Amino acid sequence: MSEWDGWGRFPPRARKRPPPAHGVQVARIGATWWGVRWIEALERLSSEYSNRLARGRTYARAGRVHDLAIASGLVSARVTGSRRTPYRVSLRLAALAPAAWDQAVLAMAGQALFAAELLAGRMPQDIDEAFRAGGHSLFPLAARGDLATECSCPDWANPCKHVAATHYVLGEAFDKDPFLLFELRGRGRDDVLSALRRTRAGGEPAPGASSDAGAGQGEAIATVSLDGRDPAELERLRGPIANLRFAFDPPAAGGAVRQLGVPPSWRADETPAELLGRDYRAAAELAREIALAGPTDRDED
């Protein structure tokens, strides 16, 4: 099929080459809140080129993006299209300075929930608060022009469909491993977790450190002394305990299942809360009935 532009006929478009066997096929784009936040950065960058985004999603799902590599401040990839040679794509997001990272680690360590979730391999919902304290953001900001993209294709649009496809594949990679976002910003997983453990234990993160060197240095946190006390006394009651009363409220809809959210590897159309909600409510209600029931004969014996 040829196209007519009023002056002459263009030759038929070249047929796209098949996706490579080692291409990354995106199954679900934006399965976590941080993956969605990354995709939103692309959509803000390309509000004028929504058609490129749609074609980029198609490329990402087809597995046309391959050889994806993430380093401090740089993402590179190859995208197979219609030409014999794959297009070269790069995304640049400036790595944060060591001082900015040190300040963010201090802020993260000061929030017990932040430290617990990061040590469990999850990205805390309000993680950007730790970076905003120093005037930065973990995610690219369109107003600052944080994200710079390049592609070897002839398309003048920014982003082109190849850049968009790479961005979507990268979003799924972040879904599976949120610490890749830290690495892109200049600090790897081990560096961040080591600094968190060090700071939570009472030491300051070594300025610009990228290893455990200097662990334990800094001002020690206050401790409790047991000098002159028998530790066994801590387990003994100092007096009678008053009568205890308990209240068991009816289980909330969704409850803990909804609070846990959707795991990164989840592939079903229905969320865990939708699939397990009825059984969760039934089990919670049964537990409440058992707790409120009177003593049994066995209890009285």
Q: Is 132 exposed, middle or buried (0-12, 13-18, 19+ CB in 10 A)?
A: middle
Same domain, 113 and 205: yes
R_g of the chain, CA atoms, integer Å:
27
Cα(141)–Cα(162) distance, integer angstroms: 21
Q: Residue 260 is part of which domain span?
A: 254-291
Same domain, 23 and 131: no
Query: What pLDDT does 219 receive?
Result: 41
Examine residue 124 and state whether it is found in any structural domain, yes or no: yes
Nearest to 58 by CA among 31, 88, 26, 89: 26
Q: CA 237: distance to chain centroid?
A: 46
Same domain, 28 and 157: yes
Strand ranges (E), the chain: 65-71, 74-79, 87-93, 147-151
Select from 190, 212, 234 the last residue of a domain: 212
Same domain, 36 and 114: no
Same domain, 194 and 266: no
Same domain, 111 and 199: yes
Query: What pLDDT does 213 receive?
Result: 38
Examine residue 233 and state whether it is found in any structural domain, yes or no: no
Four-residue CA torsion sign, 95, 98, 100, 101 = positive
What residues does 65 pair with on adjacent strands? 79
Examine residue 226 and state whether it is found in any structural domain, yes or no: no
- Tens-digit pLDDT profile for residues 237-285: 667 777 766 666 666 655 555 655 666 667 777 777 777 777 777 887 8
Examine residue 84 and state whether it is found in any structural domain, yes or no: yes
Examine residue 227 and state whether it is found in any structural domain, yes or no: no
Computed over every residue of the chain, the mean pLDDT equals 76
- Tens-digit pLDDT profile for residues 111-161: 888 888 887 878 888 888 888 878 888 888 755 677 888 999 998 877 889
Same domain, 48 and 129: no
Same domain, 35 and 85: yes
Same domain, 158 and 112: no
Query: What pLDDT does 14 receive?
Result: 60
Into how many domains does the chain fold? 3
Query: What pLDDT does 210 receive?
Result: 42
Same domain, 187 and 77: no
Nearest to 23 by CA among 160, 162, 135: 162
What are the structure tokens assigned to 196, written together?
């968190």
SS3 198: helix
Examine residue 152 and state whether it is found in any structural domain, yes or no: yes
Distances (CA, A) of 177 to 42, 168, 264, 301: 19, 14, 9, 54
Give the pLDDT band (50/70/90) at residue 12. low
Examine residue 185 and state whether it is found in any structural domain, yes or no: yes
Select from 153, 176, 199 the last residue of a domain: 176
Q: Is the pLDDT of residue 47 over 70?
A: no
Q: Give the phi and the psi of residue 14 in degrees, each rounded to 5.
A: -70, 140
Select from 176, 198, 231 the last residue of a domain: 176
Same domain, 33 and 163: yes
Q: CA 199: distance to chain centroid?
A: 22
Examine residue 234 and state whether it is found in any structural domain, yes or no: no
Q: Is the pLDDT of residue 216 over 50?
A: no
Query: What pLDDT does 21 receive?
Result: 86
Same domain, 36 and 164: yes
Question: Model pTM greater than 0.75?
Answer: no
Q: What share of the chain is helix, strand, coil (3-state, %, to 5)?
A: 40, 10, 50
Give the pLDDT band (50/70/90) at residue 296. low
Burial state string for 112-127 with b = 16 or more CB within 10 A and e = fewer than 16 = eebbebbeeeebbeeb
Number of other residues whose CB lies within 10 A of the CB of residue 87: 23
